[in-house]
Chain A
């Protein structure tokens, strides 16, 4: 069943939803990365909550004009307008008053959301036919999604993605070093507004599938998860798009293959699972890698210290050091060095002496900066450089 859903074999509607959710996930992941790197992730929460009064007002206006209140383009247009107003309000409060951005976000988010809820209640009491369904924008609903709606979401997501990729350089430069970017002629204000506009577009596009309360998760979780895997911004952007897209795809498939499981929340939960995997398993920045690295580092330090002690004929007291030496075959249980141990100790001592020469020479400052007491000099300098160091080590008076 889940396999059918994943391979789009579960009927027309489910396939539409899955493709729409994937497009949305990719767009949200990529756009969200720039927001995250600019350290303004929470602004997206204000933007998304500010869509609600727009949705409600668009419905009221459409019905009053005798149109179809549930037309998705109309509702999305309304949501975009009120989200834009909310964004302007946050910007204005943060830059023109003494309120900080987090306070501005809190104020705008709650006021707009409150207004939206009131308007929804008003609509319910209007008792016109077809008012049902607006609450779906809170948490998203994909039941009975129309082809035109799925197309709107996919095209909107693709457009947003394209614009984000076009603006990637100024957005990255502004996120990393706004002062330098500004001096290079990047218009900081316009870049920030464009970035927020793109986030707004993703939010509006995602209202139908994920809903306004959870869309922020799709904007933030993928980039944060992707950050664990790479130290390069371009790769973080790419990975974030992949993680977002995978969340949309798998989440929509799960929700299609099980009865009564809401799509939006499942998509967010899938994103969270991907985040957790990254958090624990990613090499380098992941929790497990960090623990393993710390453990390996500890062992290397103990082994090195033990070898240097052997080289200098000093006794070893630490049991971990003794155990490591024994396990490597460098010493007996009593700490008496084996032949291999003597050789390794001599190597460690030689390396230490070479490093001493390097660290005493200002012209080798860059190499000396890599001294950590563990890395053999051969891994830092070329063979001829090491030979030159050795010649100086042999004749200390010639070094000066």
Chain B
């Protein structure tokens, strides 16, 4: 909790310094499938310029949390803000990377076409694609090392390459907040390295990154903050405080997961 110092203006009225708006904040979010809550009353605060991992077992509601925060899934209660405003008002500043498996990769579209879909808000319903749009798209492809594949049909790519294309589409948006759903699922080691390098580059530019992640062994290396989730919030904060043997045991229900995490073994 950030304590905001109270100042007195000359008029004598107390003046509140503007609270630094979280880049991404979730308040009391509850989502349910039928009668079964998938996410229950979750709060989340992501400071600007941080890199947060959403961690939890299968079925913990990690993806659901992101989808509901973005309004892609109706929430029973609560909602999300980005940069202090409702998500729907700041979509220009948010880039979302859905799970790779959610898409039909036989769709008739080329790599460059997919990346250009990230420019929809720029180009608009009827606007023309101008050279500066093309430049943005090719630049985004270059940042994920996929320039040579621009003209390929997306079905001809490997899983890792498909994930890079998804990331490039998000980069083309030049957003300030990046929400990624399992960006490392089913990708090769080189792609994982390339993606994490791009994400860390974004963070260094002061952008905010939130990623759903399932590989416990890399959490400490990749993220500076975590949200441990299992339907309810288990822990949230800097990795050193929130990502402990104790919180992990609580999130994963006593299953032996702490052994997977280097550095935590001693604490068990």
A232 contacts chain B at the CB level, 8 A cutoff: yes
Neighbouring B residues of A175 by C-beta, 8 Å: 107
Residue of B nearest to A284 (CB): B153
From A166, A180, A233, A366, give the contact of B109 (CB < 8 A): A233
Also in contact, A366 and B108, with CB within 8 A (given A169-B120, A176-B117)? no
Shortest Cβ distance from residue A367 to the other chain B in the assembled complex, whole angstroms = 9
Give chain A's interface residue range (CB within 8 Å of chain B): 20 to 34
Given contacts A169-B125, A231-B110, 16 further A-B contacts (CB under 8 A): A37-B107, A37-B108, A166-B125, A176-B114, A177-B102, A179-B67, A179-B102, A181-B120, A182-B70, A182-B72, A183-B95, A184-B96, A184-B121, A184-B173, A185-B88, A366-B148
Residue of A nearest to B97 (CB): A180
Residue of B nearest to A170 (CB): B125
B145 contacts chain A at the CB level, 8 A cutoff: yes
From B71, B108, B120, give the contact of A173 (CB < 8 A): B120
Whether B67 lies near A232 (C-beta < 8 A) is: no
Whether A232 lies near B91 (C-beta < 8 A) is: no
Which residues between 88 and 138 of chain B lie within 8 Å of chain A, taking CB atoms? 88, 91, 94-98, 102-104, 107-110, 113-114, 117-118, 120-121, 123, 125-126
Neighbouring B residues of A173 by C-beta, 8 Å: 117, 120
Which residues between 150 and 170 of chain B lie within 8 Å of chain A, taking CB atoms? 153, 158, 161, 169
Neighbouring A residues of B125 by C-beta, 8 Å: 166-167, 169-170
Question: Could you pull out 19 A-B pairs where Cβ atoms are within 8 angstroms?
Answer: A37-B107, A37-B108, A166-B125, A170-B120, A173-B117, A176-B103, A176-B114, A176-B117, A179-B96, A179-B98, A180-B96, A180-B97, A182-B71, A184-B96, A184-B118, A232-B113, A233-B113, A366-B145, A366-B146
Question: Contact mask B57-95 → A, CB, 8 Å, 1/0?
Answer: 000000000010011100000000000000010010011
Whether A232 lies near B120 (C-beta < 8 A) is: no
From B96, B109, B173, give the contact of A176 (CB < 8 A): B109
Neighbouring A residues of B169 by C-beta, 8 Å: 180
Shortest Cβ distance from residue A166 to the other chain B in the assembled complex, whole angstroms = 6
B221 contacts chain A at the CB level, 8 A cutoff: no
Neighbouring B residues of A166 by C-beta, 8 Å: 125-126
Residue of A nearest to B164 (CB): A366
A365 contacts chain B at the CB level, 8 A cutoff: yes
Which residues between 173 and 222 of chain A lie within 8 Å of chain B, taking CB atoms? 173, 175-177, 179-186
B190 contacts chain A at the CB level, 8 A cutoff: yes
Whether B190 lies near A365 (C-beta < 8 A) is: yes
A266 contacts chain B at the CB level, 8 A cutoff: no
Shortest Cβ distance from residue B104 to the other chain A in the assembled complex, whole angstroms = 8
A236 contacts chain B at the CB level, 8 A cutoff: yes
Complex Cα distance, B105 from A176, in Å, reads 9
Shortest Cβ distance from residue A291 to the other chain B in the assembled complex, whole angstroms = 19
Neighbouring B residues of A177 by C-beta, 8 Å: 98, 102-103, 117
Whether A369 lies near B161 (C-beta < 8 A) is: yes
A11 contacts chain B at the CB level, 8 A cutoff: no
Neighbouring B residues of A396 by C-beta, 8 Å: none
Neighbouring A residues of B102 by C-beta, 8 Å: 177, 179
Neighbouring A residues of B145 by C-beta, 8 Å: 366
Whether B120 lies near A362 (C-beta < 8 A) is: no
Neighbouring A residues of B190 by C-beta, 8 Å: 362, 365
Whether A233 lies near B107 (C-beta < 8 A) is: yes
Complex Cα distance, B110 from A179, in Å, reads 19
Residue of A nearest to B147 (CB): A366
Residue of B nearest to A185 (CB): B91
Residue of A nearest to B173 (CB): A184
Neighbouring A residues of B72 by C-beta, 8 Å: 179, 182-183
Neighbouring A residues of B179 by C-beta, 8 Å: 183
From A169, A180, A227, A369, give the contact of B108 (CB < 8 A): A227
Also in contact, A231 and B70, with CB within 8 A (given A166-B126, A173-B117, A177-B103)? no
Neighbouring B residues of A305 by C-beta, 8 Å: none
Residue of A nearest to B92 (CB): A185
A230 contacts chain B at the CB level, 8 A cutoff: yes
Neighbouring B residues of A179 by C-beta, 8 Å: 67, 72, 96, 98, 102
Neighbouring A residues of B120 by C-beta, 8 Å: 169-170, 173, 181, 184, 186
Neighbouring B residues of A170 by C-beta, 8 Å: 120, 125
Chain B CB count within 10 A is highest, among A37, A231, A236, for A231
Neighbouring A residues of B114 by C-beta, 8 Å: 176
Neighbouring B residues of A186 by C-beta, 8 Å: 120
Complex Cα distance, B72 from A177, in Å, reads 12
Residue of B nearest to A223 (CB): B108
